Amino acid sequence: MAKPSHVFEQGNHSVKLFNVEVGDSGSRSDSSSTPPKPLLIAAPTEEGDYPVVLFLHGYLLFNSFYSQLFQHVASHGFIVIGPQLYSASGADCSEEIKSGGAVADWLIHGLVRVLPPHIRPNLSKSSLAGHSRGGKVAFALALGYAKTKLKFAALMGIDPVDGMDIGKQTPPPILSYVPGSLKLEMPVMLVGSGLGEVKKNLFFPPCAPKGVSHQQFFDECCSPSCHFVAKDYGHTDMLDDDTKGIRGKATYCACKNGKARKPMREFVGGIMVAFMEAYLEGDSQYLVAVKDDPEIAPVELSTIAFHE
C-alpha cells in the first residue's frame, strides 16, 4: 500500500486565486461586500461547501508572497483568505490585531458575496493561521485580544514570532514564559523552522529568535496541540519561489534559508491540511502518519511533539 503522503502534493481540486480590494462590491451592491482590508483568496472551483482558513501574513510581507502556499491548501478543499493587514507598521501590532478581527467579522456576511454562488464557505469549520508576526496576531485573536463574532475551530502558528530578541516581545505581549499558560479553546499546531534562529549574516538578527518563537509558543500551549520543526529550512522558506520587489528580495537576504523553498512550502501546506482534516473533519490518518513515519514529509523533521 502506498504511503499516505498526498497532503504534501497538490490536491484534487482546481483552484482560483483572486484579489478583492477595499471598495470592490463583487456581484452585489450592499456594503457588506466590501472587506475592511484587501484580500487574496484561493478557493476551489468545483461546487461545494468548504472550510475557511484566515491566514495572516508576516511582518512587512505582502499577502501575495503566499500565493503558492494558499493554492496548495485550497487544492485540498479549503477556502484560504489572506488579508493585507498593512503596508507599513512599527513595533506595536495592536492595529494588526484590530484589523485581523475586523476581517474575521466581515467574513460572516461578506465572504459569500465575493465568492461564486456555487462555492459556499463553511464558517462553522473556520481555522486561524499566521506566519511570523502574523502568527502572534493569530494567537492574539484566538485569545480574544480583539473581540470577534466569528468562532474559530483551530489555530496554526507558522514559525510565529513574538519579538526580535529573547525576552523582548513586541507589544502587546502574548508569551508569559509559564508552561501551559495559553488557554485556548481550540486545537493548536505550531510549525517551526530549524534555521529561523540562525543569523543570515552580521547585519541582521535571526528572523525567529530563540525564546520568542515556535518552541516557546508550543511550551505554553495546552492539550490538544502539536509541534513540527523542519530542520534545514528557514523562516521565509514557505513563501513563493519568486517574491518580487525590495521586500521580496529581503526575504532571501534577511533570513537564513534552506536550499529551496518548494519542500518547505509543500510541508507547511500539507501539514496544515493534515491538521485541519484531523480536527475539523475527524480524519486523523495523515497527521498520525506523519507522527509515526516522518519520512513521508518532504523535509527532515527535527521535532515532532504532541500535547495530548
Element (H, E) at 16: strand 15-20
How far is Cα 288 from Cα 275, in angstroms, rounded to an integer? 10
Cell triple for 73: 491548501
| Residue 127 appears among annotated catalytic residues | no
Catalytic residue (choose from 57, 214, 227, 235): 235
| Residue 235 appears among annotated catalytic residues | yes
- In sequence order, which residues have a C-beta less than 8 Å from that of residue 191 and are 6 or more positions away? 156, 157, 158, 159, 214, 227, 228, 229, 230, 267, 268, 271
| Residue 132 appears among annotated catalytic residues | yes
Catalytic residue (choose from 33, 99, 132, 225): 132
Give the SS3 label for residue 123. strand
How far is Cα 137 from Cα 172, in angstroms, rounded to an integer? 10
Check: CB of residue 190 under 8 Å from CB of residue 233.
no
Catalytic residue (choose from 64, 72, 159, 162): 159
Nearest CA to 282 among 47, 125, 173? 125
The 3-class SS string of 58-108 reads CCCCCHHHHHHHHHHHHCCCCEEEEECCCCCCCCCCHHHHHHHHHHHHHHH
Cell triple for 15: 483552484
What are residue 185's phi and psi, to 5 degrees? -90, 45
How far is Cα 192 from Cα 208, in angstroms, rounded to an integer? 9
34, amino acid identity = T
77, amino acid identity = G
Q: Is the dihedral of CA 38, 87, 270, 51 positive or negative?
A: negative
Residues with catalytic function: 132, 159, 235
